[in-house]
Amino acid sequence: MAGDPMRRPGAGQTRRRGAALEEAILRAAADELTESGYGGMTIDKVAARAGTNKNAIYRRWPNRLALGIAAYRQLSTTVPIPDTGELRGDVLELLRGANRHWSSPLGAILRDLVAAAGGASELLAQLPEQSGDAAAAPWLTVLGRAVARGEASPEALHPRVATVAVVLLRNEFVMRGAPTAPDDVLVEIADEVYLPLVRKRATTPG
Amino acid sequence: MAGDPMRRPGAGQTRRRGAALEEAILRAAADELTESGYGGMTIDKVAARAGTNKNAIYRRWPNRLALGIAAYRQLSTTVPIPDTGELRGDVLELLRGANRHWSSPLGAILRDLVAAAGGASELLAQLPEQSGDAAAAPWLTVLGRAVARGEASPEALHPRVATVAVVLLRNEFVMRGAPTAPDDVLVEIADEVYLPLVRKRATTPG
DNA sequence: TCATTTACGGTACGGACCGTACCCTAAGTG
DNA sequence: CACTTAGGGTACGGTCCGTACCGTAAATGA
């Protein structure tokens, strides 16, 4: 399973081209990413695993980072939106999902990619979870239901407000290098920050 | 100013040792950091600029990252704590300071270092602004005064709550690769999230 | 004062990768 | 069945890390 080129060694060596080859490269790159992380994803190794060579890769992607981002996109999955019936439960569920994601190997890869992009927004934009509104969508959905139930204020239906909780959690990973945030932290973020923020609040003075 | 070894070329070449040499190396590394960023801070270049060689460096730091962190500490300065007389003014002032910091070359260096540490908490802890409570201190001070004035709720005097604003701003830098966050964003963070959060709030149901 | 130990400086090297170049050949194309 | 396009094999230059070795200046102490 590791290191086996996709080409059958002895069989009729039909030489892949175009899309077929591209998919093989992406699969190989994704495998390398999950096995060794972005730092360990070497162009030579990807080429070897895909049963091709560096030419075919550099003909398609300008550099290692671009390949890494493309490969990561194959690995990222969409988040299921919880519906526990009350806001707090949904919030904790979303936070736990994010916690699992960021503490998984996938999370480490994503952090490395973001770091390697070094603020190049045209590259960052290619990462699914950076697409801003894409990341905000589940939160807005959950909040929308809470607003309908009267649990949350309509003013909270604002991307920056809605995503506060997950941004705080992400900060835990970036600053502390924590492997996994303990559940206390999630509860604290929810109870001390997020829920007070989005619940119906009195109009504030001056 | 660039590339000049600290040793006078022709003069009596008194060979530096111990602390004197260590300081010279750190100065050279800090200069390289500001000139070329962390990615451009090469061990060879640091050694050349310090007028020494790689041995002297590797005898003191185990690798490039450790040297980078040590050098960065020399560059980081402490934040002045604003006192405008009202919470909103202080918050915006602190946010603007953070904005300047993160968008400066120093901010890029810090991001690269955090990224290179890749979650190694023993390294991250060496960075001044990661020391958690150190970063929270100005916010707690400003909030403390606001609480005394009756502008903020005492419950806000909690590191995780107090630092929410700057965490959100930092997120702007990490996710978007924005050079500088426009002032609108700071105002939005303050008015939409932070101030509603820390102002006196009614005890929440359930 | 002089032998001994310690720490620097010079230099070379192995090793890992990146990204590029060349050349041959299989796969598509008309 | 030419002809063009895209893969595959391979080699190479270049950069940088981290280590090793060896001669020598600086500290140490008898």
Q: Are residues A97 and A187 in the same domain?
A: yes
Contacts of A175 by beta carbon, 8 Å cutoff, 6+ apart = B114, B124, B130, B132
> Chains A and B: how many Cβ contacts under 8 Å?
111
What CATH number has the domain bearing residue B26?
1.10.10.60
Write out chain A's pLDDT in tens, 206 residues.
Answer: 333 344 433 334 688 888 999 999 999 999 999 999 999 999 999 999 999 999 999 999 999 999 999 999 999 888 899 999 999 999 999 999 999 988 888 888 988 888 888 777 788 888 877 666 678 999 999 999 999 999 999 999 999 999 999 999 988 887 776 678 899 999 999 999 999 999 976 554 43
Q: Are residues A53 and A98 in the same domain?
A: no
Residue in chain A nearest B170 by alpha carbon: A171
Q: Which nucleotides of strand C lie within 7 A of protein CB?
A: 7-12, 16-22, 26-28
CB-CB under 8 Å, A167 with B121: no
Residue B9 lies in a domain: no
φ and ψ at B97, to 5 degrees? -60, -45
In whole angstroms, what separates CA A123 from the centre of its chain? 14
Half-sphere exposure of A80 (CA within 13 A, CB side): 6
CB-CB under 8 Å, A197 with B204: no
Residue B22 lies in a domain: yes
Q: What is the pLDDT of residues B194-206, one digit of tens each?
A: 999 999 765 544 3
Residue B158 lies in a domain: yes
Residues from chain A contacting residue B68 (CB–CB below 8 Å): none
Range of the domain at A54: 18-75
Looking at per-residue confidence, does B181 or A7 come out higher? B181
Q: Are residues B104 and B126 in the same domain?
A: yes
Residues from chain B contacting residue A65 (CB–CB below 8 Å): none
Half-sphere exposure of B131 (CA within 13 A, CB side): 12
Q: What is the pLDDT of residues B49-79, one digit of tens each?
A: 999 999 999 999 999 999 999 999 999 888 8
Q: Are residues A69 and A103 in the same domain?
A: no
Q: Are residues B45 and B23 in the same domain?
A: yes
Residue in chain A nearest B120 by alpha carbon: A177
